[in-house]
């Protein structure tokens, strides 16, 4: 029985890696280096390899496999990055983003270890399923990761499909080419604001970090006597989601109304997920999820208004437990699935 795997979280700013055991415990603190995502594939590859090698050295043993979380459209069956807009290099006038990059093979060739990979938000859901609120046994978990954008993942079990499903435990829904689970682009209003993806009214365009900040700035302009305005020092440029939470915790009606609004948008999206997947758990992760009770109460309210009641009865909507290190944990969960299937 293998003793450990490496989980790797490749981000646009940093690449982090740590060795984990089967229970999802980190055997040593994560190793971190800049990913140098805008300097071309070779440079980023070197940063990834350096980070993994140091994580192996720090833990002092060889992993059975490497599992990597990568932001973008990832074809996990081939280990290919189909499209990753945060990575690439400048060529003359244009910035060429990663397209069809065989990342898993490149790492395998250097480290001589099995490499599996997937989309970061998808894997965050898988990590949360096995090492967080899913406890490795929930009958389906849908997760939203709230941050700069809104990522998502869907973990299904055989209890949620009809027919001859043989697997045990939770498996990720990845779709035909690995792109499934883009829950942030669930459209909640066909006439809504333009989203970064080109569509209109995606839940991401309402509840991503910058949209929340913009709503908050508008709210303090209308409420110059609010606590939120005072906490910002009178300068709306100082408003962050954390500041909104701070004001909400002190009962500021402006801040509370803001989380109610954001929660309503998220709740409509969550109601759709409940109706489509009938999950036992909907987990909300990412830094914005730290807004806590005011946000979750509003999500619950909207879900009560929009989800099918009997499906809602069997579903808990809860904060993710493993918000930090989500990518590393998800990579490790995927690596363990690989190791155990061999």
Binding site for Zn ion (CB under 5 A): 185, 195, 197, 199, 202
Quote the CA–CA distance of 239 and 236 in Å, as a whole number. Answer: 5
Whose Cβ is closer to Zn ion: residue 202's or residue 258's? 202
> In angstroms, what is the minimal distance from the CB of 280 to Zn ion?
27
Nearest to 284, CA basis, from 265, 270, 305: 270
| Rg of the chain taking only CA atoms, in angstroms | 20
Whose Cβ is closer to Zn ion: residue 139's or residue 185's? 185
For residues 185 and 324, is the Cβ–Cβ distance under 8 A?
A: no
Whose Cβ is closer to Zn ion: residue 19's or residue 268's? 268
Whose Cβ is closer to Zn ion: residue 68's or residue 150's? 150
> In angstroms, what is the minimal distance from the CB of 191 to Zn ion?
14
> In angstroms, what is the minimal distance from the CB of 238 to Zn ion?
28
Q: Enumerate residues 6+ apart whose C-beta is below 8 A from 145.
A: 121, 124, 151, 152, 153, 285, 286, 320, 326
> In angstroms, what is the minimal distance from the CB of 206 to Zn ion?
10
> In angstroms, what is the minimal distance from the CB of 197 to Zn ion?
3
Whose Cβ is closer to Zn ion: residue 41's or residue 83's? 83
* E strand intervals along the chain: 5-10, 14-20, 31-34, 66-70, 73-75, 80-91, 94-101, 115-119, 141-146, 150-156, 171-172, 281-285, 316-319
């Amino acid at each position: 029985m293998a003793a450990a795997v490496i989980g790797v979280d490749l981000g646009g700013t940093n690449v982090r890696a740590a060795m984990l055991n089967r229970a999802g415990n980190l055997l040593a603190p994560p190793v971190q280096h800049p990913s140098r995502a805008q300097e071309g594939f070779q440079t980023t590859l070197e940063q990834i390899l350096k980070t993994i090698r140091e994580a192996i050295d720090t833990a002092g043993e060889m992993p059975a496999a490497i599992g990597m979380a990568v932001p973008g459209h990832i074809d996990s069956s081939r280990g290919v990055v189909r499209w990753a807009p945060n990575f690439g290099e400048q060529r003359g006038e244009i910035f060429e983003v990663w397209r069809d990059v065989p990342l898993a093979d490149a790492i395998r060739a250097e480290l001589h270890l099995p490499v599996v990979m997937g989309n970061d938000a998808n894997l965050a859901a898988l990590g949360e399923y096995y090492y967080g609120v899913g406890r490795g046994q929930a009958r389906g978990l849908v997760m939203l990761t709230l941050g700069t954008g809104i990522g998502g993942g869907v973990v299904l079990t055989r209890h949620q499909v009809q027919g001859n499903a043989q697997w045990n435990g939770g498996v990720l829904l990845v779709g035909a080419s690995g792109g499934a689970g883009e829950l942030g682009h669930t459209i909640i209003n066909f006439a809504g604001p333009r989203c970064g993806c080109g569509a209109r009214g995606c839940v991401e365009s309402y509840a991503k970090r910058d949209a929340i900040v913009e709503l908050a700035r508008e709210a303090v302009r209308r409420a110059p006597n609010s606590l939120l305005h005072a906490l910002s020092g009178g300068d709306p440029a100082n408003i962050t989601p954390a500041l909104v939470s701070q004001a909400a915790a002190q009962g500021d009606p402006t801040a509370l109304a803001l989380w109610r609004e954001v929660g309503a948008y998220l709740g409509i999206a969550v109601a759709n997920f409940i109706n489509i997947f009938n999950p036992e758990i909907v987990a909300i992760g990412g830094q914005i999820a730290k807004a806590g009770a005011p946000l979750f109460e509003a999500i619950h309210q909207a879900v009560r208004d929009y989800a099918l009641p009997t499906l809602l009865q069997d579903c808990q909507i809860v904060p993710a437990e493993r918000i930090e290190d989500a990518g590393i944990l998800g990579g490790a969960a995927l690596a363990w699935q690989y190791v155990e299937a061999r």
